C-alpha cells in the first residue's frame, strides 16, 4: 500500500494537528466575532449610573454637607442624556440606569457627585463602565481560517485513503 511513515503522518499526525487548529481557531474566532458585533449591542460603551434617594444621601453623609471634595451639580447642568438617565434612575426601584449618549460629567460621576434636583440632593455615581470588548482586527478571520485548515487536517486520512485506492486502481489497469 504505502510506507509506514506516510501512513503515520496521514492517519494520526494530520488529524491531531487538525483538531488542535480547530480548537485554536474557535478560541480566536469566538471572541473576535463577539468584538465585531458588540458595538451594535445597546450595552456597549454606555456607562450605568446609580442614584441614591435624598434619604440615602443624607444618611451616607450624616446630614452634613458632603464637603469640598465631592462635586456638586445642578440638574440643569447635566447633558440631555444625563438628565434622562438621572430621571429614569430616580424612578427605577434599584436606582440604576444606563446613560445612552453624551456624558460630559463622567469624571465627576466616577468620583461620586451630588446632583440637586427639585430642591433635593441625590448622590450619583457610575456603577458600571460597560466598556466594549477589544480584540485584534485579524483575530476573527484568522480564527475562521484556522478552523477551515483544521477541518482539512481532520479530513486528511479519508482523502489519503481515497487517493491510495485510486493509485492502486490506476496501477492495476496499466
Domain positions in the chain: 4-39+136-173, 46-128
Please state at what angle helix 139-173 crosses helix 14-37, rounded to 10 degrees: 150
Q: What is the DSSP string of 30-55?
A: HHHHHHHHGGGSTTTT--EEEEE-HH
**What span, in angstroms and rounded, lies between the C-alpha atoms of 56 and 89?**
14
Q: Which candidate, 149, 86, 151, places its Cα nearest to that of 121?
A: 86
Label residue 1 by pLDDT band (50, 70, 90).
very low
Q: 117 by DSSP, 3-state: which? A: strand
Average pLDDT of the chain is 87
Q: Is the pLDDT of residue 147 over 70?
A: yes
Among 26-35, 54-63, 104-113, 126-135, the minimum mean pLDDT is found in 54-63
pLDDT one-digit tens code per residue, 60-85: 887 666 555 788 999 999 999 999 99
Q: Which candidate, 85, 171, 166, places its Cα nearest to that of 124?
A: 85
Q: How far apart are the first and last CA of the chain?
A: 17
Q: Averaged over 155-163, what is the pLDDT?
A: 84
Cell of 31: 471572541
Is residue 106 a contact partner of residue 47, using CB atoms and an 8 Å limit?
A: yes
φ, ψ for residue 143, nearest 5 deg? -65, -45
Amino acid at each position: 500500500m504505502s510506507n509506514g511513515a506516510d501512513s503515520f503522518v496521514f492517519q494520526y499526525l494530520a488529524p491531531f494537528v487538525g483538531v488542535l487548529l480547530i480548537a485554536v481557531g474557535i478560541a480566536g474566532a469566538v471572541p473576535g466575532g463577539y468584538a465585531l458585533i458588540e458595538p451594535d449591542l445597546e450595552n456597549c460603551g454606555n456607562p450605568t449610573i446609580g442614584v441614591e434617594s435624598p434619604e440615602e444621601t443624607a444618611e451616607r453623609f450624616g446630614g452634613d454637607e458632603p464637603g469640598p471634595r465631592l462635586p456638586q451639580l445642578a440638574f440643569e447642568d447635566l447633558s440631555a442624556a444625563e438628565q434622562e438617565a438621572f430621571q429614569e434612575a430616580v424612578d427605577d426601584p434599584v436606582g440604576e440606569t444606563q446613560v445612552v449618549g453624551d456624558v460630559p460629567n463622567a469624571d465627576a460621576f466616577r468620583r461620586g457627585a451630588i446632583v440637586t434636583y427639585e430642591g433635593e440632593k441625590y448622590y450619583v455615581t457610575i456603577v458600571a463602565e460597560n466598556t466594549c470588548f477589544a480584540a485584534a482586527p485579524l483575530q476573527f478571520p484568522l480564527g475562521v481560517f484556522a478552523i477551515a485548515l483544521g477541518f482539512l487536517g481532520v479530513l486528511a486520512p479519508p482523502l489519503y485513503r481515497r487517493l491510495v485506492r485510486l493509485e492502486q486502481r490506476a496501477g492495476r489497469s496499466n
